Each structure stands twice: as structure tokens, then as C-alpha cells.
Structure 1
């Protein structure tokens, strides 16, 4: 069940963030820009709870985490309230923004998703890793893509999209929720589970008889995005905002505040 949480944003007197490669002082917060981001009068942020590094449910049941903090900051700079719609899967979150039922979202950059969403540069980098049983003969990532191996992934996740393009010989098997990848991998007696490193490490810590393969098979570039029909002005504003919260330390502070390990602030975008 999808739940929508409406939260009044802190209204900030700060200037709007700079356009992608313009000084911050050159930016003005126009009514057309506010309308592009919040046509309903409220910034509607789509939150993917399937990525525990960036979002989770608080004890009160509301969404919390790095993504939520960034969305609140964006709403404050736009001087509008913010409302959150939380989803258990990335695919549903992407669909909601693509269909303009939400105004912004937090996604891993992927060409398929880019058809309907204008992405910023990444604000956080996350590792995608493989998990196997202790008794598995697999010892390295390059051994996974072989005939006879079956890889369990969360349907519609960043690593599902990546592996669907890259895997040539192994079989990809999908489960609905990223949080249940290891459970489904064990239940169906598959050879490999794929996912976000932190989620797999947490699953391995409470699941006897499994281990992570060394290294990573991909780096997940977590970015913000908005529907492409909102226009270039809004897209450039959002890109500038992401660069500003990276440079200012806001993202690093959010990662530290929520106790996030295994993720790093992305470098500044190349302009």
C-alpha cells in the first residue's frame, strides 16, 4: 500500500542554488520555476524505500533518511511545502515521476529511466555486489556470468537494469522487493544474489552460510530527477541544487546523521 505524507517545509530565506554553471547570485526564484516544480502548490517527492541506504520508515511510519532530508531542503529553497509518497520498489517510484504524479524523485541513473526523466549528476555513489553460499565454487565477480548460474535481483532495481544489459550467459531471476532478494535466493536455491552492498552485508550478518564476493560489479549512481516535460529551466535548477548540496557538505552531513556506511558523496559534476 502506498502512503502519502504531507509535511510543511521549512521556509528558507536562502537564495536559490546556482544554475548548473552559473554563480548562485545570478539565479532568481521565478514563479514559473515554482510552478514547474510544484504545479499543485506542493513539491511532491517520490521516495524509494527499497534502497535502505537512502530511505527508510521511521518509528512513526513516515519516510526518513537522506532522500527525505534532501527533498525537504529543495522544498525550502523553492519556498513551497513538501509531500512524500513512499514506495517499496524503485520501479514504482520511477513510474510515478515519469507519469508526473510526483514532481521529483531519487533514482539510480539508467538510460532506460532517462527516457522520461531528466536526471541530475549523482549525489551519492553506492556499490552493487554479489552474495553466494559459503559452499559455492564462485570466488570472483567475473565467474558469475556463466551458463548454469542464476542471479536473484530485485525487479526494476538499478542492478536489475544493469545486469539485464550486461549478463550474457547466466540467468536473471527477479523478486518483487529488493529487501527480499536473499530470502528468495535461499528459498529457490539459486547460485547468486545481487544487490546494494549494505543490504547484502546486513542480510549476511543475520543469515548463516552465505558470503559476499570481493569487490563490486557496478557503482550505482544515485541522482535526483524530475519529469522531462517540466522543462530545461527546472532541470538546470535541480542540477545546480544537487551540486550545491554536495559542495556545501549537506549530503555528507545527511549520510553521517543517518549512520550510513558503504556510500560516498559523488564528485562534482563535470561542466
Structure 2
């Protein structure tokens, strides 16, 4: 039987929006530890008249000490900092229905804005997750996730961006399909995942910023809902240049 202890902080697997992280963030308390090491190129903010495009590379690592498994993430909300800008409406997009029916090969080549791979456990078997990221249009990012074991499973994870005011520019919400949470009766738990997105040849400023935040920091917040009927929250800020 799987046993759980809930971490006090977490980071989202699908953090593929406009947060440009330039440090390593670790959660130290509890048996579960999560680290996010990421870079943005360049790491300076743009302006309203000339948004600065970024390539974001992020590696998420999750470890759990003792006889406790990682909880399964069922959904999440990610709050992106003021000055963040997703410009999906400017560039080639792929419809969610097209991606679901035909897979990545059915989408226009220029709509692909990122990729990722990592390690996940299906009991003692490596699940081999791979991610392909597509522009879904205005305020929509699509992640096409493939698991290799214990059975080959593919699913689209839509991530919807809702514009906000005040401290945050967007709230990104995603729901993880049940088919990616449990495969052949086996829970899938993440070990690590590296994602690269934005600043493609066809869409250099699809992920952009129009400013650097107060104090030369970009704040962000992550709220995750787990299969234990509890939620965890993570808030931090990262440095940027004006």
C-alpha cells in the first residue's frame, strides 16, 4: 500500500509559461524535497512597446526520503509575475482536438514551442516521460505527454492562462488526465523533468516580459492539488535585470 506525507512546498511540472527562473529553489522540510534549477536567456525584462522574448530551461527534481511515495499531482494553478506576457495569438497554433486526434505530427511545425524529458517511476519501472509543447493560441499552452511504461500512454494536458491584474499577470491552470496519473493500476510518480520552451525560430517572443519587477525580482506562486485530497502552495521570487 502506498503511504503519503504531504510536502510543505512544491513546484509545477508544467511551468512552461513566463516565469524566468535563474536560481535553484529547494524545499527543505518534510520527507519530500523538490528543486527547480532553471535559466532564462536573456534574463532582462523588456518594455510594453518592445517585449523581451525568452528561452526558458527548467529542471524539476523530486526526491522523497524514507518509506514515503511522492503524492500524485492532479491539477495545479501557477501565478506568473506582473510583466509576464504570453503572445500565442501572434503565432502559428495547433488546436487541442487536432493534437489529441493526430498527435504531434498533425500540428504545424511552427506551432511547436518546446520539449522535455525526464524520469518517473511506475512502481520499480522507469516510465520514461517525454513532453512536446505546442502553442494553443491566445492564452493556451498544450503539453503532449508520452509515458513509455508500464504501458505506452499519450495524452494532451491543456494549460489555460487567465489574465489577471495587480501582482500577477496570469494564472495558469492545468488538470492532469487520469490516464497519466495511474497506468495499468500503477501510480506514476515524478523523479525529474527538464523542459525547454520559448524563443523558437518561428516565435522568438512568444514567451516574453514587459518589465522587471520591483526590487529586480519576479515573484511567482504555485498551488497544487494532490490525490490525497490536500493542496500545497509554493511562493518565491527570482532575480531579473532592467
TM-score normalised to the size of structure 2?
Answer: 0.30
Higher strand share: 2
Q: Which has the bigger relative contact order, CA under 8 A and spacing at least 6?
A: 2
Structure number with bigger Rg = 1
Higher helix share: 1
